[in-house]
Structure 1
Amino acid sequence: MLWPKLVCFALVSLAFGQLYQVASEDTISVCPTNFTRVADKCLLVDGSWKNFYESDRHCRSINAGLLSIKNQTELNAINQWLPVVAQYQLEFWTAGNKLGQVRDDYYWQSTGEQAFYLPWNTGQPTPASGDCLTLLANYNLTSEAFVMDPHRLTVKNCTQWAPHICQTPLQVFKTQLCLNTSAFFEAKIPV
């Protein structure tokens, strides 16, 4: 009678010995290598001059899409970031376009969503100029300084050249600091 109880006790002890205790749990958001967190997305400026189609293809080749802008808060964050990473660069391709549209409805190529927030530059939109959207900053050159206005959307011919901004979503992980009788490790688990 004692033998089955010992075996049962041994199996239960072995099972509990393999369980781990979560000492702490945290959720973190990170950007892929070379991307910078701006607002709630990860951005990368590519200074090489390409047309809209080449720019879109480049972003897709690095698992990203061209920049889309949701609201004023996001645009303000982008306008604060751009002078740091691309000082004096006036223009960048975005994902905005009206390709294949009869009306003047613009869509974000990277998300497929209609662009409802369109912070136009002065005198824009000018649909006769093209079907694609860039972020363009106007500038003033005085004897004392080069002053750039904030970047705003401008219509441009898709086959013309400009640098571009790629975006990708934040990568969200849940980290768990795990303790077990024979190990100590930290696990990153995609959410």
Structure 2
Amino acid sequence: MFWPKLVCFALVALAYGQLYQVAGEETIVVCPTNFTQVADKCLLVDTKWRNFYESDRYCRSLNAGLLSIKNSIELNAINEWLPIIAPYQPEFWTAGNKLGETRSDYYWQSTGEQALYLPWQAGQPTPASGDCLTLLANVTMTTEEVFLSVHRLAVKNCTQWAPLICQVPLQYFKTQLCLNTSAFFEAKIPA
């Protein structure tokens, strides 16, 4: 009669410990220092003007790559973020280029993938302008203010200069609270 109760108690204790461990999990999503989470990636704007090659090298020195854009959701998030982080900057290098391609296919240098989502600025692409892609906003100036339209892709000569946006993937960390339910600790309080 004693053994069934002991086995039942052990199973309940084991189940309680497992349930508590699962309830104690937490996933933390972070970006590296100086990077900001925008959509599902971490971005960093550097307003120093460089050519495409220097920009790519700079991002790689940070263990990052130049910006690539997957879809309209990502582009909308970037366009909401840019006026906050760089309000008067109309152009930024991206990872997009067609270096070595005789066709009009563009690739994201940072990921190696073909650029399938290409939200062009009005009048673009103009392949005669170059082989690299920037995010470009149209600038409208009045006597009192400067207005930038949303940033969209434009073709540019890779040796010309522009500021840049670096990207890295989000970093996921999983934490678990692990308790040894059979351990008891005695607190000793000094008198």
For Structure 1 versus Structure 2, the TM-score category normalised by the shorter chain is 0.7 to 0.9
Aligned to 2:94: 94
Equivalence map 1:21-60=2 (5 Å): 22=21, 24-60=24-60
Matched, 1:84 2:84: yes
Give the Å deviation of 1:66: 0.2
Letter in 2 for 1:172: Y
Per the TM alignment, residue 145 of structure 1 is displaced from its structure 2 partner at its CA by 2.3
Pairwise CA distance, 1:143: 2.8
| Letter aligned with residue 175 of structure 1 | T
Give the equivalent residue in structure 1 for 2:4. none
Deviations 1:133-190 (A, max 9, x none): 000100111234211100010100000011100000000111112234479xxxxxxx
User: Unpaired segments of 5 or more residues in structure 2?
Assistant: 1-16, 186-191
Alignment of 1:74-153 (within 5 A): 74-153=74-153
Gaps of 5+ in 1: 1-18, 184-191
For residues 133 and 48 of structure 1, the distance between their equivalents in structure 2, rounded to whole angstroms, comes to 17
> Which residue of structure 1 aligns with residue 7 of structure 2?
none
Q: How many residues align?
A: 166
1:167 aligns with 2:167: yes
Name the Cα RMSD after superposition: 1.8
Please report the TM-score for the alignment, with normalisation by the length of structure 2: 0.82
More strand by share: 1
Query: Would the alpha carbon gap of residues 31 and 182 (structure 1) be closer, same or farther in structure 2, given more than 3 Å must change?
Result: farther
Q: Distance in 2 between matches of 1:48 and 1:141?
A: 23
Give the Cα separation in 2 of the matches to 1:68 and 1:171: 17
**Distance of 2:73 and 2:28 partners within structure 1:** 22
* SS at structure 2 position matched to 1:27: strand
